[in-house]
Structure 1
Amino acid sequence: MKKTVLTLGLIVSGTSFTAQADTLLGLYAGAQGWNMQTSGGFSSDGTNADFNFEDQTNSNIYVAFEHPVPLIPNIKIQRTIMDTSGETTLNSQYTFGDEIYANNTDVSTDVQLTTTDFILYYELFDNDLISFDVGINAKQIDGEFLVTEKENPSTSSRESFSGPVPMVYSRLAIGIPFSGFGAYVEGSFLNIDDHTLSDYQAALTYSLMENLALDMTFQLGYRTVKLELDDLDDIYSNLEFKGVYAGLEVHF
């Protein structure tokens, strides 16, 4: 009898430890397709021109690792591509790089832009009903802008830039019990010196799979990124990227 009780106790203890480890330790990975609209402009002297950009579908991928060790933050790394292009007629004289473009000049623009977020955060609440995270985000911005005069393609200027920007980060997620549905809002923000940056997203989620080995969640949301840069590696901008995204997240 005592051996039976001891055996049952060991089984229960092992099951309890497995469930606790799955709750406290987690590796998350996600990928999203973002139907992105772009507005605003950029320059190399602060007199930004407003360009007409085409809608683009770009990608966002991320991984996050959560653990139970006190005082050591969790980590999330996220990489977003925000490439786009377009054409416009300048409504004033415009300077970019070493070129000066006259008023009423038709130009084409090409934007190659990638942001990489290195996020350190703490979980203040974490359960099936609500979770709330706060932390800091070092957003690395890497870009290349190209402006070309359409009637005279030899008149062209290309500028590359790169630099990190520190931001405040937070995330709130809620779950609807016994339904598989949930929602979250997530964002990073900075307003310092003459830089104003924000990166916000909100989504509805639905659990496609949930077991001890793997959880899979579908996401449908909306994201807005604003980059108002003032002399970041000699680049000025007032760009806004926004649109609907859909994605999948897996939790190991």
Structure 2
Amino acid sequence: MKKALLTTSFIALFASPVMADTVAGLYVGGQGWQTETSGSFADNNSMANFNFEDETNTAIYAAVEHPLPFIPNVKINHTSLDSKGDTTLQSDFTFNDNTYTANTTVATVSDLTTTDFILYYELFDNDLVSFDVGLNGKYVDGILSVASLATDEEPAVEGRREFSGVVPMLYSRVQVGLPFTGLAAYAEGSYLSVDDHKLSDFQVALAYSFIDSIAVDMTAQLGYRRVNVDIEDLDDVYADMKFDGAFAGLEIHF
């Protein structure tokens, strides 16, 4: 009921000034993201800081924009947030009913994905500036694991925890273009601070449209993205992790 009231209020607030596209369009894009990961996770409040290696992650998305003023546009964005590393524990750590003692070297794996289901309105849309605002239901799904290394005295011990959940977020995007050059800069993000969950997902980039035709447009992107995941008891998982780094992408507009 609360989500329905929030959505209804949001539509009523922004429906009147919306400036919709005059022609419907489909946007499809993909990004390669060089990700640095830091932070911690656990299945209780006692988390340990882990070391993670840099990884190359990916994001793919599709958006549909249309000329109907009272119906929001739709965007779906799927992102991988995979990371792994080895850490020597500074203190005892418990995960999935397994206890790992101090000075034990453990291998950690964070296999996360996020899928954003975004409903948004274009408040402005022209060659100089565009501004979108909306709501995002971010679906977080993952597997976290901690495994000690086998020794002559002790066998390897592995604990795994699967979790998933939907977190509601606000969404906005602003783009500023330089007419007749194909160049533009944009900032896009989703953010939330409700109850004990604090999530944010921001990116800034330069974009260059190198094909601009009646049939199709193609744009290259180069930017920086940062995702913060601070969750408290989401499906019995606690995490405070940061993923950030440079990305390169390609977008096609039909």
Q: Same fold, TM exceeding 0.5? A: yes
- Secondary structure of the 1:92 match is coil
Q: In the alignment, which residue of structure 2 is the partner of 1:164?
A: 166
Contact persistence 1:22–1:212 (CA under 8 A): no
Q: Select 1:204's aligned residue among 190, 206, 222.
A: 206
CA deviation map 1:36-74 (0-9, x unaligned): 000001000111111110100011000000011121100
2:87/2:107 contact within 8 Å kept: yes
- Matches of 2:155 and 2:25, distance apart in 1: 52
Shift in Å at residue 22 of structure 1? 8.1
Distance 1:60 1:177 in 2: 28
Q: Which residue of 2 aligns with 1:237?
A: 239
2:181 counterpart residue number: 179
Letter of the structure 2 residue corresponding to residue 27 of structure 1: L
The change in CA–CA distance for 1:126 and 1:211 in structure 2 (over 3 A counts) is same
Question: How far did residue 154 of structure 1 move?
Answer: 3.1
User: What's the CA shift string for 1:167-193, capped at 9, x where partnerless?
Assistant: 000000011011111010000001011
Distance 2:177 2:97 in 1: 54
User: Larger deviation: 96-105 or 166-175?
Assistant: 96-105
Instruction: Tell me, yes or no, if the aligned pair for 1:111 and 1:145 is still in contact at 8 Å.
Output: yes
Give the letter for the 1:210 counterpart.
D
Question: What amino acid is the match of 1:97?
Answer: N
RMSD of aligned Cα (Å): 1.2
- Give % identity: 56
**Structure 1 residue 84, shift from structure 2 partner:** 1.0
Larger radius of gyration: 1
Paired amino acid for 2:182: G
Q: C-alpha displacement at 1:209, in angstroms?
A: 0.1
Unaligned runs of 5+ in 1: 1-20
| Count of aligned pairs | 232
Structure 2 spans left out of the alignment, 5+ residues: 1-19
Q: Deviations over 1:67-106 (max 9, x none)?
A: 1112110000000001111000111111111111111111
Q: Secondary structure at the match of 1:50?
A: strand
Per-residue deviation at 1:24? 2.6
The one-letter amino acid paired with 1:163 is G
Measured in 1, the distance between the counterparts of 2:172 and 2:135 equals 8
C-alpha distance in 2 between matches for 1:187 and 1:102 = 40
Deviates more, 1:130-139 or 1:97-106: 97-106
